[in-house]
Each structure stands twice: as structure tokens, then as C-alpha cells.
């Protein structure tokens, strides 16, 4: 038996724009609408035509541009709103008027100042007016989540008779619980005598973080249209997020027995477009579209994913438009992920000891730095390799200090041919003090021809990458060193250069490729 289709009604451009600070220009709305069309959403709610001349123009432009999705405008249950919506939608290949009026006692009494009978009459009149202007009419019982079900049954039966083809049941204030909401949808479908003449739709808000759960509960109970927004944008805490609804339906298709027509590979590009235009960043841990949604940081998970990605992934990153999943390296990572990333960077290890040494250094670095990037890894392995070569000098310990008004001083312990020597020196700055301390042992007679510090990656926890060029009797060597502490990186670079100078013939520096 084939699955039922769930209509995806995107309201990013209408309810999404009701997020404070998310107002969009007409051109921006058209760009998003084109992306939604590529995503293959069934209905694009383009705006609220009566709201402003700008919104009217946006609905009209989108109606002119979009061919494959139905374009919709919201309107209150008022003649002037419905006329404006119909006018703006005139160019649409497929247009829909979405008219609404509140049915909860609270809204009817305090906001609309109307009796339930007046609301019923206005709902019927509005749907009839809309149907005279356009074939596709949707009606919403605003604040359905807090409405009396008997009254809603009366209203819904009447508006279906008046020509509404979609009946939307919004949980306007995000008050519903999944089991109650699902039960309400099931009851409405069962009790409204002509319910088979309309598609039942849901529109859930996220005030209690339940918008997606409530929408899915409604689908389980017979709703066949879900209203949602990209990145969960929307009034207050937002609407049900499109990406979560679509991927929940796809991933749990065998249990839900429904499907959507969404081109899921276009989800991430659309999410980025909406985030870029509205200026609302996507939180890293947001399902599906957050930067960490397909990233694995901890060693046990990384090891599992490398052996079989399904151990810790229920969806494929590529299916929603990411390039791939990611194994991020940090202090919780294990040897498997470290080795795998190194291999991707073209770095292999001669034996397990070399891997272990590099991995141990990586852990020390990861304790100091929240995220380790590829450049960090390359610097790290160069350090391991240069320190493994036969070296006359090796840095064992370093202390350097500077404070205002005092001469900077450094204390170093350096192994010279395996014999450790302690040395102290003062200098113009901590790096100068360190270099002088090293020279007081090495007495190389070399001239410091160049000293350069750069950050390997961005951020204040980045590693400093130091280059030191020494010149002696026409011979030039370039040493390098990396560390999160640039004074330590400087000492490493200077010692690396001294060791190169100490070799009989010029040798290629493993980090820079220079001699």
C-alpha cells in the first residue's frame, strides 16, 4: 500500500516574518520563494497582502515568479483583506486565499469582541467571498488549541459547505500537548460530517518546544497538511520547523506511513539562505541544519561511525544538503578519528609508536584549544617529526615572564646531547630573553636574520606558528615551531634552527620545506 502524501505548507515568508527583527524586502522574499520552489514545497504562504503596500507587492511578485508551488496570501475574515489577497494573487499559476478567524472563547470575547454566532457568520461569509474569487481556499480556526471542540465542529462543517478545501487547526499559542492535540484532530475528522471534503492541516507554535511533536501527532491522527517554517522561524518561539517535520516523516516513514514530496538535498542551502537574509543564526545543535547536526566529537562515537556510520547516525548528511558528516577533533577524540583525519591529510605513521607520540601531543594541544583544525595537525606532526630526528638541542622546560616596569626574564631547561642544562637570561622582551638564554648555552655565533609569528588558525586559542631564520658564515637555515604559547613556539623554532645549523649538510626543514 502506498503512503499518503503530506502537503508541506511553508509560512517562512508570512509567520516566519512575524519573528521580531526578521522583516524582509520584496526582493529577499522572492529569493527565498525561489529556493522554496526548488525545495518542492507544495504551498508558499508569501505574506499578508493587506498588511502593507510592500507586502502586497511581495505577494504579487512571488505570484508572478513561482510556477511549481501554490502561492498563498493570508487574510482576516474581512472583505477588504480577501479582496487584497485575491488582487495580489492574480498572476499566480496556482493561488490560494488563506482566511482565518479566532474560535477560542478568550479571543472571541476579548480580542474580536464578537459572539460565537457572529464569528460563525463571518467565517462563512469570508469563505464564500474568497471562493467567488479563487478556487483554492483555506480556512483557519485561530487559537484552535484553546477552542471548544463542539463550536469548532459547527464552524468547520459550515466553512466546508461554503467552499473551504483546507481546514487548518492552529495551536496559535503553542499550548497543546502531543496526545491531546492528536486526539483533537482525530475527533474533528470523525465528528465533522463533511470532513472528507477537506484536507485537515495543522499549524503549531513552539512556545513549549512542542511544535514538531504536536504536528507529527496530528499527522498520525489524520492531518495531511503541515504548516511550518525554515529554521523554525515564526511569531514568539517560532513555528514547527520544516526540516524537522520533513526528515522525521522521511526517517520514520515505515511507522508514520506518510511521505512528502520535498527535495531534501535542498534543505541546508535554503536554511542558509533564510538565515543569511534574516540575520537569525542557526544554533549549532539545531536538528538537521545546525553545524553540529552531523558532527561527532567524542572518541567512542567517532570510532563507531568510522566502523559503520549507522552506529551514531539516523540520517545521511548528504541527504539534507551537507557535503558530508564531520568528525571534529578535540580533547574527547580518540586514536581512530585522529589517525583517520591524518590519513585524509596524507599523513601516515611509520609505526604505532609514532602514531602514539603524535596522538599524545594532540591530546595535550586539545586540552589547551577548543577545536583542532587541519593546520594544527600538520604543525603538530612536523613538530613530532623534527623532534624525532637526531638533535643536539631539545627544549625541556620554559618559564618566561614580563610585567610592566620590570625587565622580562626567562628560565629554560635545554637538553644538550641528552644532558639537561638550566639557564636564565633577561631581555628586551620575553622572546628576546628566551633567545639569549638559548644562545648562552649554544653560543652558535649565528645571526638572527628573520623572526616571524603567525596564527595557524583563527581565534585567541589559535596556535602561534613561529619562523626563525639564522645565518652563519653564508649558510642560512629556517627553523619553525608551533604552540598555543608563542614564547614556547619561539623557543622551539630557535632550537629547530640551531639543530639544522648543527647538521653537517643542509637539511630540508620538515615543516616549511626550506633548508
Ligand X SMILES: CC(C)C(=O)C(=O)O
Binding site for ligand X (CB under 6 A): 15, 74, 100, 140, 142, 168, 170, 172, 203, 205
Residue 51: contacted member of ligand ACO, ligand X, Mg ion, none (CB under 5 to 8 Å, by partner type): ligand ACO
Please identify which residue in 10, 37, 142, 244 interacts with ligand ACO, judged by CB under 6 A.
142
Whole-number Å distance between alpha carbons of 23 and 307? 46
Residue 76: contacted member of ligand X, Mg ion, ligand ACO, none (CB under 5 to 8 Å, by partner type): ligand ACO
Q: Does 131 help bind ligand ACO (rule: CB under 6 A)?
A: no
Note whether 515 and 477 are within 8 A (CB). yes
The residues facing 70 across adjacent strands are 43
**Is 376 a known ligand-binding residue?**
no
Q: Does 10 help bind Mg ion (rule: CB under 5 A)?
A: no
Residue 306: contacted member of ligand X, ligand ACO, Mg ion, none (CB under 5 to 8 Å, by partner type): none
Helix then strand count (H, E) for the chain reads 17, 18
**Least distance in angstroms from the C-beta of 111 to ligand ACO:** 5
**Least distance in angstroms from the C-beta of 102 to ligand X:** 8
**Is 239 a known ligand-binding residue?**
yes
Q: Does 51 help bind ligand ACO (rule: CB under 6 A)?
A: yes
Residue 140: contacted member of ligand X, ligand ACO, Mg ion, none (CB under 5 to 8 Å, by partner type): ligand X
- For Mg ion, give the closer residue by CB, 157 or 227: 227
User: Packing angle between helix 374-388 and helix 486-502, nearest 10 degrees?
Assistant: 40
Sheet of 419-426: strand order equals: 393-401, 409-416, 419-426
Note whether 154 and 119 are within 8 A (CB). no
| Burial of residue 227 (number of CB atoms within 10 Å: 0-12, 13-18, 19+) | buried
Beta strands 7-10 and 4-5 are unpaired
Q: Does 143 help bind Mg ion (rule: CB under 5 A)?
A: no
Please identify which residue in 60, 76, 98, 369 interacts with ligand ACO, judged by CB under 6 A.
76
Please identify which residue in 9, 56, 100, 362 interacts with ligand ACO, judged by CB under 6 A.
100
CB under 6 A: which stretch of 43-51, 265-273, 395-403, 473-481 binds ligand ACO?
Answer: 43-51
Nearest Cα residue to 486 out of 467, 511, 466: 466
**Least distance in angstroms from the C-beta of 148 to ligand ACO:** 18
**Is 292 a known ligand-binding residue?**
no
Backbone CA torsion sign across 53, 55, 58, 64: negative
**Least distance in angstroms from the C-beta of 140 to ligand X:** 4
Whole-number Å distance between alpha carbons of 48 and 84? 9
**Is 428 a known ligand-binding residue?**
no
Whole-number Å distance between alpha carbons of 142 and 173? 10
Whole-number Å distance between alpha carbons of 36 and 263? 10
Residue 423 Rama label (left phi>0; alpha psi -120 to 50; beta): beta
Q: Does 235 help bind ligand ACO (rule: CB under 6 A)?
A: yes
Cα 260–Cα 264–Cα 265 angle in degrees, nearest 5? 160
- For ligand ACO, give the closer residue by CB, 75 or 382: 75
- Given the rule CB under 6 A, which residues bind ligand ACO? 15, 18, 48, 50-51, 76-78, 100-101, 111-112, 142, 172, 235
Binding residues for Mn(2+): 15, 203, 205, 239
- Given the rule CB under 5 A, which residues bind Mg ion? 15
Amino acid at each position: 500500500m502506498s503512503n499518503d502524501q503530506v502537503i508541506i505548507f511553508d509560512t517562512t515568508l508570512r509567520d516566519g516574518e512575524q519573528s521580531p527583527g526578521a522583516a524582509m524586502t520584496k526582493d529577499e522574499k522572492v529569493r527565498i520563494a525561489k529556493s522554496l520552489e526548488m525545495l518542492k514545497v507544495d504551498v508558499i504562504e508569501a505574506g499578508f497582502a493587506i498588511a502593507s503596500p510592500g507586502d502586497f507587492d511581495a505577494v504579487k511578485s512571488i505570484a508572478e515568479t513561482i510556477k511549481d508551488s501554490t502561492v498563498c496570501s493570508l487574510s482576516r475574515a474581512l472583505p477588504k483583506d480577501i479582496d487584497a489577497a485575491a488582487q495580489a494573487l492574480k498572476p499566480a499559476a496556482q493561488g490560494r486565499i488563506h482566511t482565518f478567524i479566532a474560535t477560542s472563547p478568550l479571543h472571541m470575547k476579548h480580542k474580536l469582541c464578537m459572539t460565537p454566532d457572529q464569528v460563525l457568520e463571518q467565517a462563512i461569509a469570508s469563505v464564500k467571498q474568497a471562493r467567488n474569487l479563487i478556487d483554492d481556499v483555506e480556512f483557519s480556526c485561530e487559537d484552535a488549541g484553546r477552542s471548544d471542540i463542539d463550536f469548532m465542529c459547527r464552524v468547520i462543517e459550515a466553512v466546508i459547505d461554503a467552499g473551504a478545501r483546507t481546514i487548518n487547526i492552529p495551536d496559535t499559542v503553542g499550548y497543546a500537548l502531543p496526545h491531546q492535540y492528536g486526539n483533537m484532530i482525530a475527533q474533528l475528522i470523525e465528528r465533522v460530517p463533511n470532513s472528507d471534503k477537506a484536507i485537515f492541516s495543522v499549524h503549531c507554535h513552539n512556545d513549549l518546544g512542542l511544535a514538531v511533536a504536536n504536528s507529527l501527532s496530528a499527522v498520525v491522527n489524520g492531518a495531511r497538511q503541515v504548516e511550518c517554517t525554515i529554521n523554525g522561524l515564526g511569531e514568539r518561539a517560532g513555528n514547527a520547523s520544516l526540516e524537522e517535520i520533513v526528515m522525521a516523516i522521511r526517517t520514520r516513514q515505515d511507522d508514520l506511513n506518510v511521505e512528502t514530496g520535498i527535495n531534501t538535498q535542498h534543505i541546508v542551502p535554503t536554511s542558509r539562505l533564510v538565515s543569511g537574509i534574516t540575520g537569525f543564526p542557526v544554533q549549532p545543535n539545531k536538528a538537521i541544519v545546525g553545524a553540529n547536526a552531523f558532527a561527532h566529537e567524542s572518541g567512542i562515537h567517532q570510532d563507531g561511525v568510522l566502523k559503520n556510520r549507522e552506529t551514531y547516525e539516523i540520517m545521511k548528511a548528504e541527504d539534507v544538503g551537507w557535503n558530508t558528516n564531520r568528525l571534529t577533533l578535540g580533547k574527547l577524540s580518540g586514536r581512530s578519528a585522529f589517525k583517520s583525519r591524518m590519513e585524509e591529510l596524507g599523513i601516515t605513521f611509520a609505526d604505532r609508536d609514532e602514531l602514539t607520540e603524535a596522538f599524545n601531543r594532540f591530546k595535550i594541544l586539545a586540552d589547551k584549544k577548543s577545536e583542532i583544525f587541519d593546520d594544527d595537525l600538520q604543525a603538530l606532526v612536523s613538530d613530532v617529526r623534527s623532534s624525532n630526528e637526531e638533535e643536539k638541542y631539545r627544549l625541556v622546560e620554559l618559564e618566561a615572564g614580563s610585567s610592566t616596569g620590570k625587565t622580562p626574564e626567562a628560565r629554560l631547561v635545554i637538553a644538550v646531547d641528552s644532558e639537561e642544562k638550566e639557564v636564565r637570561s633577561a631581555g628586551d622582551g620575553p622572546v628576546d630573553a628566551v633567545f639569549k638564554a638559548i644562545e648562552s648555552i649554544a653560543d652558535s655565533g649565528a645571526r638572527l636574520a628573520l623572526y616571524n609569528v603567525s596564527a595557524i588558525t583563527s581565534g585567541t586559542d589559535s596556535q602561534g606558528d613561529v619562523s626563525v631564520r639564522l645565518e652563519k658564515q653564508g649558510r642560512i637555515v629556517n627553523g619553525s615551531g608551533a604552540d598555543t604559547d608563542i614564547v614556547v613556539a619561539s623557543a622551539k623554532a630557535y632550537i629547530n634552527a640551531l639543530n639544522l645549523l648543527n647538521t653537517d649538510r643542509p637539511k630540508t626543514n620538515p615543516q616549511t620545506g626550506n633548508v
